[in-house]
Chains A and B, each alone.
Chain A
Amino acid sequence: MANGLVIKDLHVNVGEREILKGISLSVEPGKVHAIMGPNGSGKSTLAHVISGRPGYEVTGGSVEFNGVDVLEMEPEERAAAGLFLAFQYPVEIPGVTNTVFLKTALNAQRKARGEAEMDPMAFLKFLRDKAKLLQLRDEMLKRPLNVGFSGGEKKRNEMLQMAVLEPKLAILDETDSGLDIDALRIVAEGVNAQRSPERSFLVITHYQRLLDYIVPDVVHVLAHGRIVETGDADLARRLEKTGYADYTPAA
């Protein structure tokens, strides 16, 4: 059942505190949804819960991806099922080179799906071609994962991982934060190059700027753990003018 991501009445706690208070959302294949909202509204929590990061307690509701219950799956099973999270703060891992990491990840996913592993020479060519599109130097592929990368390089490296792993749904968690305008454009081009009728995106951002480059089909506004408004790309532009003041609760 290729009906994409379906979230129903999702409630999530961190410790005693309820962060998500009933989120419902459907992202069909091929669509780009944006989630905007003020700081602390629960945007990143939503991304983390979908990808399976430990530390969150789902107290109600469901998340399904193509008809399968995502919340029952381990993080690596979610990845093999086609979910991808581009981290807001990519982790540095000394001692594991970018190339070894990507090859291990890709082959682990292929194996989990019952596909043959990619042979090393074919993989290297495949990886170099993808890196070129994102203007990542070959030398960065040999370096330890994210170690010594600038903020922009880390985000481009996330896009490289996405390009290599070819997920069905990519969640971009504030990928625009900390990027200058050139890096932003490269990242956006990386995403746009991968838009296809089969692949959907959930773009989480605080600012409208990224959405000038990645034009969304649907925009949701998340505030205080709830989706308070849903519209098209114009909603994002309107928010750029008015800010989130309308959504702050009367004190």
Chain B
Amino acid sequence: MSQGEPILLQDHAALAAALPGARHPAVAARRAEAADRFRRLGLPHARVEAWKYTRLKDLEALPFARAEAVPATAVPDIGLGAVAARVLLVNGRFDAAASELPAVPGLTVRSLKDCLEAGDAAVLELLDRDVDETQAPLAALAGAWLEDGAVLSVDAGVAVDLPVEVVCLAVPGEGPRIAFPRLAVMLGEGASLTLVERFHGPADAVYAVDAATDIAMGAGAALNHYVLQAEGAAATHVSAARCDVPANGRYEGFILQLGGHVARRETRLRMMGAGGDAKLNGAYAATDDAVCDTTTEIRHVAAETTTDQVFKGILDDRSRGVFQGRVNVQRDAQRIVGNQLHNALLLSRKAEVDCKPELLIYADDVKCSHGATCGELSEEEIFYLRSRGIDAATARSLLLEAFLGAAIDLIGNPPVKAAFAARAAEWLALRGVA
């Protein structure tokens, strides 16, 4: 591609010297190393298998600059009700004034900026966990600009009852801007937390978000991790979550993607100890020429671990859905269970879905399954509803809501389930998808 410094790394060396914690060699070296990695990798291209179906065409075409530090704009409410804390990241930067941070016993919320300034070893270690670098050019880019975000910690044995919300709000400036929200979550042994991560931005501004969430769990910890991606229709969104699920740990994830021009959510789970259980489910819907990508990678490292994935997507107009689900069972991971299901509904002749389930099994005593379907709304079902007096448009939206609802119903936390169901229904009604 282009010679010389990539535009996304413009003035990196000079600017990095002023970023938080630059005086700590570990922090500075990390940024420099990540920048080198991004120079080597460049933006993902079709020859990289992991990015074969999703091109970041807006990032390639337009001169994106790092988003400025700006004040918060209004945060959309999703009707979640009471929360333990609401953390607001504006263009990736921790906005303490606009956040709600009441004292909750056992829960600590810090800005990543403060942790970097302090050279916090535990946080750095979590951010540094091995990344398969050929797969992760956007992680390299975010690493080069590592600046701020939120760090949540829950003490051992503490159950935080109400959800903690982390809202990543994009506030674009003049011209295309890219933000790098960063979230680190540390649960002590036996701790439990419900985390709602959500992404919002203006409807028509061109902006990009390159986000990452790193999660560390102590033995027996439990995390409900719910993600709402509701970026504006012209946004590029790439985010990745990584979590090691320990022995007897429980991870329940749900990803609802309803926004973005090009959006990709990656989730990488490693099942590290016996008795670890992960459920990773999601729903998505796209219209116009949007691309919505859900990529999951589950690695069964230890024996006697269980994972289950259910994803449902609706594609209208010329939109395209991508589902890449890899389940990797390592040699010693005997007696594991790994199930995966992806169902897509195409509402238009020009809509498309690319589905790539991958099972890589190196153990010989496992139960694994995967299923993928792709279809249209059933005329039979529509007629049945119409014959009872329900008009055609209402019949279609009932069926679409029901289709996504089958996944949303898997959310274990009732207020989150209700909020996500309402959000999906509102989206379907607003877009006139039917």
Residues of A within 8 A of B (CB): 51-54, 74-76, 78-80, 84-85, 87, 90-91, 93-96, 101, 104-106, 108-109, 112, 144, 161, 165
Contacts and interface: CB of A to CB of B under 8 A. Distances in A.
Contact of B389 (A79, A94, A144): A79
A83 to B, nearest CB: 9
Given A93-B399, A95-B401, A96-B402, A108 B384 contact: no
Given A104-B398, A161-B388, 9 more contacts: A53-B383, A54-B383, A74-B386, A85-B387, A90-B384, A91-B378, A93-B402, A94-B402, A96-B399
A93 B401 contact: no
B389 A52 contact: no
Contact of A108 (B381, B390, B402, B406): B390
Contacts of A84: 387
B386 A79 contact: yes
A96 B386 contact: no
B388 A95 contact: no
B413 interface: no
Nearest to B384: A91
B427 interface: no
Contacts of B398: 96, 101, 104
Given A91-B380, A91-B381, A108-B394, A52 B403 contact: no
B392 interface: yes
A207 B434 CA distance: 41
Nearest to A87: B384
The 6 closest A-B pairs by CB, nearest first: A95-B402, A79-B389, A109-B389, A105-B388, A75-B386, A91-B384
B281 to A, nearest CB: 14
A75 B385 CA distance: 9
Contacts of B383: 53-54, 75
Contact of B385 (A51, A95, A105, A112): A105
Given A75-B383, A96-B398, A108 B403 contact: no
Interface in B355-405: 378-381, 383-392, 394, 398-399, 401-403, 405
B387 A51 contact: yes
Tell which of B387, B389, B399, B406 has the most Cβ of chain A within 10 Å. Answer: B389
Given A93-B402, A94-B402, A95-B402, A108 B379 contact: no
A201 B29 CA distance: 83
Nearest to A93: B381
A84 B386 CA distance: 11
Contacts of B384: 87, 90-91, 93
A144 B409 CA distance: 12
Interface residues on B, range: 20 to 34
Contacts of A80: 389
Contacts of B378: 91
Contacts of B394: 104, 108
A165 B380 contact: no
Nearest to A96: B402
Contacts of A94: 402, 406
Contacts of A53: 383, 387
Given A93-B402, A94-B406, A95-B403, A52 B392 contact: no
A52 B387 contact: yes
19 contacts: A52-B387, A75-B386, A76-B387, A76-B388, A76-B391, A76-B392, A79-B386, A79-B387, A79-B388, A84-B387, A87-B384, A95-B403, A96-B398, A101-B398, A104-B390, A104-B398, A105-B385, A108-B394, A165-B388
A156 B105 CA distance: 55
Nearest to B400: A95
A95 B406 contact: yes
Nearest to B409: A95
Tell which of A51, A78, A94, A95 has the most Cβ of chain B within 10 Å. Answer: A95
Contacts of A95: 399, 401-403, 405-406, 409
A75 B387 contact: yes
Contact of A165 (B389, B391, B402, B406): B389
A168 to B, nearest CB: 13
A87 B381 CA distance: 12
A154 B289 CA distance: 41
A54 B383 CA distance: 8
Contacts of B403: 95
A22 B242 CA distance: 69
A161 B399 CA distance: 19
Contacts of A104: 390, 394, 398
B389 A76 contact: yes
Nearest to A89: B380
Contacts of A52: 386-387
A102 to B, nearest CB: 8
Contacts of B385: 93, 101, 105
Contacts of A91: 378, 380-381, 384
Contacts of A165: 388-389
A241 B67 CA distance: 86
B38 to A, nearest CB: 43
A52 B387 CA distance: 8
A106 B395 CA distance: 13
A164 B398 CA distance: 20
Nearest to B408: A95
A165 B406 CA distance: 27
B391 A108 contact: yes
Interface in B394-434: 394, 398-399, 401-403, 405-406, 409
Contacts of B392: 74, 76
A84 B387 CA distance: 7
Nearest to A81: B389
B283 to A, nearest CB: 12
B406 A76 contact: no
A162 to B, nearest CB: 10
A79 B384 CA distance: 11
A85 B387 CA distance: 7
B434 to A, nearest CB: 14
Interface string B82-105: 000000000000000000000000
Tell which of A80, A87, A93 has the most Cβ of chain B within 10 Å. Answer: A93
A94 B381 CA distance: 10
A104 B384 CA distance: 13
A80 B387 CA distance: 9
